[in-house]
Structure 1
C-alpha cells in the first residue's frame, strides 16, 4: 500500500517536473540573445554595439513602442509579439545583415504594381535605417543604437503586416462600405498578422502572399502597361483596374467545385464546375441608381463614397440553393403591393382578376376585390398573392436559397427584356434566361428534373417544391472588369455606382501618377 506521504512526495516531484518542462518549452520559444552585443558588433563592425544587452534594449524598446504607438496600424498585435518574445530584435539580428530586410523593402517599393501607394509601406525609411546599421561609424552611442534597433523593428513589423494584409485581404472591408453586401468575407486577424511576424524566410513568405489568381495577374499586367480602354479616358481605365484588383484581393471567392455565380454588371449567370463555366445565360437584375451611367470614375465627388442603394438593387450575397419551386405562387412584397398593385387596381377594376392576383385581408381571402375602394386603402391593409399561370411574374419556376433580402433566381414571362443591353430591370430578384437548363444543371438527369420539366409545361399548373439532393452554392457578385477566356479585358458599366463608392474609400491608398509612370 502506498503511504500518503509517499504519494504527496511523488505528486510534488511530478508537478515540479511539469513546471520545469513548461519553463524550458517557454524559454525555447524565445531566442536567447545573451551575446547580443557581440553578435551585433560582429555584424556591424561598430564598437558601440559591444556593450549592448537584451535588458538594456528592452527598456529602450518599451519607450520607443509607447512613442510610436500612434504610428502603428496594429499596435496591440505588435506590442504583444515583442512582449511575448522579450523584445527580441528578430528583424535586426536575423534578417538585416543577410539582405532580407532590404529585399522586403524592395517588395514594398513595388506596391504600385498592385495599384497601391508604396509610401504606405515605408520602404525608403527602412532602407535608410538598414544602411545606417551597415555603416561602421553612423551610430555613435549605445542609446542611439537601442533606439535605432527598436525603430527598425517596429517599422519593419508594421509595414510587413500592412503589406501582408493588403495583398491577402485587400485594403477595404466591403461590409463596411456597401449597404447591401452579405457575402462572407474573411478579414485579417491577429493570427494572420503574427504569422507574418514569425516568418523565418521573408522572401518565401512574401512570394507566398502575392496573388496567384490568373485574373489578378492579367489586370495587374494591364495596369503596368498603362493602356486606355476603348471609349474611356486613361484615368477612368486606371480606376477600373485598381477597384477590380481590390475586389480580387478580398477573401470572398468560391472554393467549391460546383457553384452558381451571378455577376450583376454583366447581367450573366454561370454554373461553374472545376473552374470552368459549364452553363451560362443572360439574367435580369434589380434596378440601380446608375443605369444611365451618369455617375462615373472620370469625375469623382467625395460624397459619392457614401453608398446610397436604390431600393430595388440586387444585393451581393452568398448562400446555398436548396430547392426549386415549380409553378410558384408569388407572395407579392408589401412595397410592390403599395406602389404598383394597388395603384393599378385603382385604375382598372379588372386588373387583379386578369393577372390572377388574389387579395387577402387579415389572412382571409377577399372574394370580390373589385368592390374595394383602393383610393382609401391603407398601406399593409391587404396582402396579395399571384396564382401560378403564364402571367405569374415568377414564371414557371423559382430557385430558393436562404437570405435576408427575400431574393431568389426565377423564371419570367417577360422574355423580350433579355434582348436589351441594359438589364437592370427587376425588383431585386434575378430573372434567369434559361431556367430549365439551370434546373437540369442543378438536378441532373433525375426523377426530380423529369418532374420539373413535365410540370413547367402543365397547362393547369399547381405549385410543386422539389428539394435538391445536394445543395449548390450561389454567389451574387459585382465585377466590372475582368479578362475573358482569350485574355481580352472586358469592361462593364458601373450600373449600381459601386465602383465609385469603392474608389472613394480606396483612393487614399492609390499610387500617384509619377509612381504609376515608373511601372
Structure 2
C-alpha cells in the first residue's frame, strides 16, 4: 500500500522531501561541526579538530545512562539531552563567555543560604572548565569526548538543583510533615527545562536570588553569626537555617487581604496590602514539645520523624466562607471518649449542666442521667454528643468556617483565662480567638450582617445562625519560629510541635554537615 502511494506521488513532492531531508541533515552537520571548529579556534588545541559530533553524542548518552541512579531529576535531564540529540549545548553556549565561571561563583556562595556546597559539584566543574580551556589540557580526542560529556551533565544537574533549591527549597514539606495541608508549589519538568534554556547565566541567577525582606533579614543574621536572645550561637544558627528553608517554600500568601495564624507565636493577623490591620492572641492545639524537652541541639534520632500529638493544629491554607453564630458543637468522638463519658460517670448531671444532648442512632435520648456511664468505654461507645448554643458552649458565640480535611476552624471560647498565659497551646486542635467579634467586624465590615452577628452574640440561648461572608477570605495557618518584626528586630518562639527538629534533621540527612 505504501509502495503504491509512493509510485503515485508526484515527482515534485518526492524531490521536495529529498531536498528538505538533505538540507536538514546538512544543517545539523554544519551545526555539529562548529563544535570542533569553535573549540579549536578558542584554545588552539589541535585535538579538538578531530571531534566527531556523532561520537560525542554517543559518549554523552553513555555518560547519562551510566549515572542514572545518581542523577536527581533524571527524567528531565534525559529528556533535555534527547531533545538536543545529545549535543553539549550548555558547554558550547556557556564555556567561553564566562557563564560557567559565574555559575561556580554562585554555587560557591550557596552556604550563605544555609545550604551545603557538596551537591553542586563546584570543584569538579571548575576542574573540567579549566581542562577544556587550557591549550594543553586535553591530549587525546577520547579525553575530549569524556571531559565535554562530564561537564555537560554536571552543569545541567547542578544548575537545576541550585535553581530548585533557591526557588522552592530543598525539602518538600508534604513529605516530612504528617499534618501539612498548605498549597505549596513544587518544581515541574517544564520549569526545570526552562532553567537549562537560560541564555545568560548571570542574569538568570540574579533573578532567582530570594528577594523577600524576611529572607534577607534572616540571611544577613545567618551570615553574620547573629545569636538570638537566650540561645547559644549554634542553636541560633539552626533556628535561622530551618526558617530560611521555610521561606523558600512557595506557600506564601499572594492575595491583597488574608488571615494568617502563626502556631508557635499564638497570634492571628489580618493582613491588608502587606500590613497587619488586626492582631490578636489565639490558643492553638496542644503539642508534643510544649515543655521544650527537645531542642535543635538536644534531640533523639526518633524526633526527626513527624509524630504529631493528637491535638496539634495542622498547617493549612483555605478560604473562610461563612460564620456560624451561637454554634452547636458536634463533639468529636476522641473528646467524647477521653473527657465526656468520664465526666458523666463522675457526675450524673454533668451533661445537663453543660447543655450536652446525647443521641443514639440519630435519636435524642431524653434522660441520659439514667445511663450507667461507668460501664461505657471507647470500645463500646454507641452515643453521639452535641452541645447546645449558650454561654458554656466550648465554641463560644461564633465560629469561622473554611474547608479543610482536619475539621478545624477558628472560634470563640468561654475559657478566657488561657489568653493570659504565655503558653497557649491548650486547645483540641481548633484555633480559639482572643477577639472573635473584632475578626467578624473586619471580615464583614459595617452593615446588616455584622449587626445581626453582634446582636445574636449578645443574646442568651439563641438559635444558631449561618451567615456567608460577602467575599471569601484566604486563611493560612503556618508554623514559623523565627522572623524579623516590623522594626527589623529578630523574634523567635519555642518549637512547641517539634517541627523545627523534624525539618533540621531532614536537611542534615540530605546535605550532611550543615
TM-score for both structures, normalised by structure 2: 0.94
Residue 256, structure 1, aligned to residue 268, structure 2: no
Residue 295, structure 1, aligned to residue 294, structure 2: yes
Residue 34, structure 1, aligned to residue 33, structure 2: yes
Residue 381, structure 1, aligned to residue 398, structure 2: no
2:313 & 2:344 partners in 1: Cα distance? Answer: 27
Contact conserved, 1:287 with 1:313, CA < 8 A, in 2? yes
Deviations along 1:370-400, whole A, 9 cap, x unmatched? Answer: 1110012243311111111111000000000
The 1:248/1:30 distance shift into structure 2, 3 A limit, reads farther
Give the superposition deviation at 1:20.
Answer: 9.4
1:288 & 1:31 partners in 2: Cα distance? Answer: 66
Which residue of 1 is the match for residue 99 of structure 2? 100
Contact conserved, 2:321 with 2:473, CA < 8 A, in 1? yes
2:473 & 2:123 partners in 1: Cα distance? Answer: 49
Contact conserved, 2:292 with 2:494, CA < 8 A, in 1? yes
Q: Quick check: 458-467 or 276-285, which moved more?
A: 458-467
The 1:213/1:353 distance shift into structure 2, 3 A limit, reads same
RMSD (Å), alpha carbons: 2.4
**Mapping 1:472-487, distance limit 5 Å:** 472-487=473-488
Which residue of 1 is the match for residue 432 of structure 2? 431
1:99 & 1:420 partners in 2: Cα distance? Answer: 59
For the residue of structure 2 that corresponds to 1:300, the secondary structure is coil
Which residue of 1 is the match for residue 313 of structure 2? 314
Which residue of 1 is the match for residue 245 of structure 2? 246
Give the superposition deviation at 1:439.
Answer: 0.4
Give the superposition deviation at 1:76.
Answer: 1.8
1:27 & 1:396 partners in 2: Cα distance? Answer: 79
**Mapping 1:256-295, distance limit 5 Å:** 256-295=255-294
Which residue of 2 is the match for residue 506 of structure 1? 507
Q: Quick check: 128-137 or 87-96, which moved more?
A: 87-96
1:20 & 1:215 partners in 2: Cα distance? Answer: 60
Which residue of 2 is the match for residue 494 of structure 1? 495
Residue 231, structure 1, aligned to residue 218, structure 2: no
1:227 & 1:451 partners in 2: Cα distance? Answer: 51
**Mapping 1:39-58, distance limit 5 Å:** 39-58=38-57
1:131 & 1:164 partners in 2: Cα distance? Answer: 24
Contact conserved, 1:332 with 1:383, CA < 8 A, in 2? yes
Which residue of 1 is the match for residue 366 of structure 2? 367
Give the superposition deviation at 1:254.
Answer: 1.1
For the residue of structure 2 that corresponds to 1:215, the secondary structure is helix
2:95 & 2:102 partners in 1: Cα distance? Answer: 9
The 1:51/1:281 distance shift into structure 2, 3 A limit, reads same
Deviations along 1:156-195, whole A, 9 cap, x unmatched? Answer: 1110011011111111111111111111111111111111
1:413 & 1:53 partners in 2: Cα distance? Answer: 80
The 1:463/1:189 distance shift into structure 2, 3 A limit, reads same
2:155 & 2:66 partners in 1: Cα distance? Answer: 16
1:28 & 1:453 partners in 2: Cα distance? Answer: 77
Residue 195, structure 1, aligned to residue 209, structure 2: no
Contact conserved, 1:116 with 1:511, CA < 8 A, in 2? no
Contact conserved, 1:286 with 1:426, CA < 8 A, in 2? yes
Contact conserved, 2:119 with 2:511, CA < 8 A, in 1? no
Give the superposition deviation at 1:77.
Answer: 1.2
2:187 & 2:18 partners in 1: Cα distance? Answer: 35
Q: Quick check: 287-296 or 49-58, which moved more?
A: 49-58
Contact conserved, 1:117 with 1:509, CA < 8 A, in 2? no
Which residue of 2 is the match for residue 462 of structure 1? 463
1:226 & 1:509 partners in 2: Cα distance? Answer: 23
1:31 & 1:298 partners in 2: Cα distance? Answer: 60
For the residue of structure 2 that corresponds to 1:39, the secondary structure is helix
1:163 & 1:376 partners in 2: Cα distance? Answer: 61
Which residue of 1 is the match for residue 141 of structure 2? 142
2:23 & 2:471 partners in 1: Cα distance? Answer: 51
1:36 & 1:120 partners in 2: Cα distance? Answer: 29
The 1:204/1:24 distance shift into structure 2, 3 A limit, reads farther
Give the superposition deviation at 1:447.
Answer: 1.3
Give the superposition deviation at 1:508.
Answer: 3.4
For the residue of structure 1 that corresponds to 2:247, the secondary structure is helix
2:450 & 2:24 partners in 1: Cα distance? Answer: 61
Give the superposition deviation at 1:22.
Answer: 12
Q: Quick check: 445-454 or 480-489, which moved more?
A: 445-454
The 1:430/1:25 distance shift into structure 2, 3 A limit, reads farther
1:472 & 1:195 partners in 2: Cα distance? Answer: 34
Which residue of 2 is the match for residue 326 of structure 1? 325
1:263 & 1:28 partners in 2: Cα distance? Answer: 59
Equivalenced residues, count: 506
